[in-house]
Structure 1
Amino acid sequence: MRYIWERGDARGDRTGVGTRSVFGATIRFDLAGGAMPLLTTKRVYWKTATRELLWFLTGDTNIRSLCAQNVQIWTDWPLDRYRRETGAVISREAFSQAIVEDEAFAREWGDLGPVYGKQWVDWPTYEPVGEGLFRKGAGVNQVAEVVESITNNPGSRRHIIEGWNVAELGSMALPPCHKSYQFHVADGRLSCLLYQRSCDLGLGFAFNMWSLAALTRMMAQQCNLEPGEAVWTGGDVHLYLNHAELVEEQLSRRPSGEAKLTFARRPASIFDYRIEDFEVSGYAPQGAISAPVAV
């Protein structure tokens, strides 16, 4: 964070806010002994991040179930579209409540398009029906296929979950930032490398790193392996210029404590985890730091 803030390149960006940025960064974190990469210099709402991860695994693309759990990570994008297209003046709280209480409203305004979960568990396929015509085929469940390939062919270099579906990027509320996951088995340990094309270091990174580690732990449990490393690689890693107070406050703090994750049970499949299955100990963060989200 300090390096980017003091020495990163000043760049314009899609949001118009402006950033300081570096291109190409890597972090490795050993997950042995239940260790988890939870920042302690600010409070990370790991249950919120976990609920988002579990939502991805359902393949759902509507924010209704998230809003019902008071998870507002994705609310700003459909809210922005609703305000633009209707001209309505509405708070995020009121919009989220309407999404939860009105199924028809949620169908019209709550869908994000074919984002993460859709690509992870239902990557679209098409099959020819003759005369140059095609029909929709069975979707590809990449997550299930990777669990199967890790279990039965651990030495493979093809244990990959990909979110960057070029044909559908234009239909997504936001193209995937954490886009490519590759798993690796060695000495009975499962590691995962995430390539993230764009990283908001001030806000998004803490969630991304937690989710990477949590998914790695879940996959390891399902494949009867020990967790190895969570390896995070960022393309454009940036801090928004309007995050100055967040940056200075966080850099003034010193980390302490060691968070560990245990599972309350072993679910029947990678798709059967519940928030109650995640038990975190040893996490004693300092206070939360808020900052605006650039939409």
Structure 2
Amino acid sequence: MRHPEHQYLDLLSQVLEKGDERIDRTGVGTRSIFGAMVRFDLSDGTVPILTTKRVYWKTAVKEMLWFLTGGTNIQPLLRENVRIWSDWPLAAYRRETGQDISQPDFEQRIVEDDAFAARWGELGPVYGKQWRRWLGSDGREHDQIADLVKTLRENPSSRRMLFHGWNVAELGSMALPPCHMVYQYHVTSDGRLNCLLFQRSVDLLLGAAFNYVGATALQLMLAQQAGLRPGELVWVGGDVHLYLNHLDQAREQLSRDPRPLPKMKLLRHADSIDDYRFEDFEVEGYDPHPAIKADVAV
């Protein structure tokens, strides 16, 4: 049987060989294809943490747990040593103040100074805000995650089990509009929970691996809360691209052979979707190739 990771490696190869090259909003430039799909079977505990390079899965799980809090400030992330959201507020701070502060110094101030964090650590109404506190035209907040859990428990045959973050009215206030924007769920007659994640824009080298892990962690939590078993994770990409300064790294990754995928499990049954902690997740058998360094385009 073909290793599931080859689906991802095939995408890397396709973008390298056939991608349309153009300048993007970051100015770095991309090579991209439009429309892609990969499928991962989670039913035996195996999870898509890529092995052809080291993926910092702990960071991805911590990010997903932060999304579930509804938070929009990077201070809690930095206190968990998660730095993947620092680039956008740092760029805003430098642009608006004219100060060429280093990233470590900026992050340290966010961690230590609550007032500074409140002013400069905000990302706007990004993922968590929309997932947990979508503001309706009537002024009422909608908790899409709580509604999803309720429907999974009470009406699992529903075709309306989804949540998304593309709130048109608030896009302009976000540091970055949602890339992984629609999560739809499906329950089989024998109690397996499937997820389809649509991602409109995909940084294939840096972002996709994190999105696979985050979506998997969420699927495990939702399945447990609804008394279901994990099924398939189906990932669909819109604009699937490599930045032009990531091409050599992609070629390096393609030169490596996949190793056995690891397994992930939850160590306890949380009382609610809001009760999970990072310590509840355990990954076994992860033996990846070395990490591949690449810059984030902001």
Q: TM-score range by the shorter chain?
A: over 0.9
Structure 1 equivalent of residue 180 of structure 2: 178
Q: Is the 8 A contact 2:50 2:261 kept in 1?
A: no
- TM-score scaled by structure 1? 0.96
- Residue 203 of structure 2 aligns with an amino acid whose one-letter code is D
Q: Deviations over 1:15-45 (max 9, x none)?
A: 1111110000000100011110010011100
- Residue 272 of structure 1 aligns with an amino acid whose one-letter code is D
Q: Is the 8 A contact 2:220 2:266 kept in 1?
A: no
Structure 2 equivalent of residue 243 of structure 1: 246
- Residue 153 of structure 1 aligns with an amino acid whose one-letter code is N
* Counterpart mapping for 1:212-251 below 5 A: 212-251=215-254
Q: Deviations over 1:165-197 (max 9, x none)?
A: 000000000000000000000121000100000
Q: Secondary structure at the match of 1:238?
A: strand
2 CA distance for matches of 1:290 and 1:97?
Answer: 23
- Residue 240 of structure 1 aligns with an amino acid whose one-letter code is Y
* Counterpart mapping for 1:124-163 below 5 A: 124-127=135-138, 137-163=139-165
Task: Decide which of 60, 78, 83 is 2:71's aligned counterpart.
Answer: 60
- Residue 286 of structure 1 aligns with an amino acid whose one-letter code is H
Q: Deviations over 1:60-101 (max 9, x none)?
A: 100000011110110000000000011111111110000000
Task: Decide which of 210, 213, 225 is 2:213's aligned counterpart.
Answer: 210
Superposition deviation, residue 6 in structure 1: 1.1
Task: Decide which of 171, 178, 181 is 1:169's aligned counterpart.
Answer: 171
Superposition deviation, residue 267 in structure 1: 0.3
- Residue 208 of structure 2 aligns with an amino acid whose one-letter code is F
1 CA distance for matches of 2:218 and 2:115?
Answer: 33
- Residue 25 of structure 1 aligns with an amino acid whose one-letter code is A
Q: Structure 1: give runs of 5+ residues left out of the alignment.
A: 128-136
2 CA distance for matches of 1:12 and 1:90?
Answer: 28
* Poorly superposed stretches of 4+, deviation over 3 Å: none
- TM-score scaled by structure 2? 0.95
1 CA distance for matches of 2:23 and 2:219?
Answer: 34
* Counterpart mapping for 1:6-17 below 5 A: 6-17=17-28
Q: Structure 2: give runs of 5+ residues left out of the alignment.
A: 1-11
1 CA distance for matches of 2:42 and 2:22?
Answer: 35
Q: Secondary structure at the match of 1:261?
A: strand
Structure 2 equivalent of residue 272 of structure 1: 275
Q: Secondary structure at the match of 1:84?
A: helix
